[in-house]
A and B are shown apart, each in its own frame.
Chain A
Amino acid sequence: MDFENILKKLKEKDRVTLSRVITLVDNETKEGVEFLKKFYKERKDSFRIGITGPPGVGKSTLLNKLIERFAKKYESISIVAVDPSSPFSGGAILGDRLRMDNIYKFDNVYMRSVASRGSLGGLSSSTENILQVLEIFGTDVIFVETVGVGQSELDVMEITDLVVVTLVPESGDSIQAMKAGIMEIGDIFVINKSDRDDAYKISEYIKSILQMKYQDKELAPPVINVSAKNDTNIDELVNRIESLKEIFIQKGIIESKRETRRKKEVREILRDMFIKSIDRELKIIENKNNKDVSPYEISEKILKKIDFKSLEDIWKER
């Protein structure tokens, strides 16, 4: 594979090439990993914004409105929308484009739908890699849409710089039922569909929860009522995102988030490689002579046998 040529085309903003490189990393291929290794230093510090919340609250519709604003302001915008894979068939319906007609109006907007694949409900393990490709491509802002259920809430916080939690007037009852998490991860809370009844009741309720959590009331995340459908108060949301971004940069919050992210990623890759090398050695159990050897003892044996130098080969086998 001619990596230098691929990089050159990416820098020329060639979308066919961008799409194909993303497929390489989405499918966790050897070429994809090599590409990221080789050109990691080429990436730009794109600002990553997570949009999360329960299904149907209007995340895609809202994103469509945000794109309109951001596409006029920045040179290059990307969207990665993650939808859950079916645990039964392994397939997925990726339908976020349905609500995003603005992606076709601006040439500087790139949108990619991905299935969560192996990680049930959570983000695809390759999502971080896809974001890195977009950073090498040189995009300014990346939006990541994820369905906020269970694990993916935490995932989205880890791979983005700022999280917008999206709820609706009907979310009141479910907030308490929601697993701890959704209240902790938001940097901004949006009550979408505020064209409906009780929208301000719920925003007051959420504000009161947040004020309790944050001693310093100045630091409590803002709660904003919008209607993506009627395009109400979207500019207020955009302003909040922009001003939080500035604060995060000034206070070095983004810097430290990125450092944590890198550390976590290294850990994850190592764990992945480690498990694969262990799996290779598990044959030892099939040996009849080992029938009465305790699992602890077998583990110790395996640990001594693992050839750490071969981790690279294991990775390449994928």
Chain B
Amino acid sequence: MERKIKVLVAKPGLDGHDRGAKVIASALLDAGMEVIYTGLHQTPEKIVKTAIDEDVDAIGLSILSGAHMTIFPKVLKLLKENKREDILLFGGGIIPKEDMEELEKMGVGKLFGPGSQTKEVIDYLKDWFEKSRKQ
């Protein structure tokens, strides 16, 4: 049986901009992936707990509030504490280029800004999955 890619799409913090997250979630659905959508106002702790219990392959965070430099590192840290750094952490939203570069250096995957094509996201995920997940 073909193995499905399982992705958690989450909106952390007080950020109420959920259009982007919904667009991405439904694009991933159309690409044949299994998407867990948990809605607004998730804490990093909840996000990581969900990722572990659902055993997802990847976590996609959508942040348009400017809180990306605190939230991404926090989620990375919690994943590490739980020995699940194998889970891909990636995302998108309003994130300045310098911040994207810094986050990617810390071990965050690709980040997608406004106007990104959903196909780019899908290709990126499939490619990552092919390289690092398929035994």
Residues of A within 8 A of B (CB): 15-16, 19-20, 22-23, 27-28, 85-86, 88-95, 97-98, 104, 110-113, 115, 117-118, 318
Contacts and interface: CB of A to CB of B under 8 A. Distances in A.
Contacts of B36: 94-95, 97, 113
Interface string B71-89: 0000000000011100000
B50 interface: yes
Given A97-B50, A111-B53, A112-B54, A91 B33 contact: yes
A93 B33 CA distance: 8
B125 to A, nearest CB: 12
Interface residues of B, number: 27
B53 A92 contact: no
A28 B4 CA distance: 12
Nearest to B135: A29
Interface of B: 1, 3-4, 25-26, 28-39, 46, 49-50, 52-55, 82-84
Given A90-B4, A115-B4, A19 B53 contact: yes
B55 A91 contact: no
Interface of A is mostly: mixed
Given A89-B31, A89-B32, A28 B38 contact: no
A95 B37 contact: yes
Contacts of B39: 97-98
A15 to B, nearest CB: 6
7 contacts: A16-B52, A16-B82, A85-B34, A94-B34, A98-B39, A111-B53, A318-B1
A16 B54 CA distance: 9
Nearest to A86: B29
A22 B37 contact: no
A23 B29 contact: no
A91 B1 CA distance: 14
A117 B33 CA distance: 11
Contacts of B49: 104
Contacts of A118: 1
Contact of B32 (A16, A90, A94, A111): A90
B34 A115 contact: yes
The 3 closest A-B pairs by CB, nearest first: A19-B55, A91-B29, A90-B32
Contacts of A28: 1
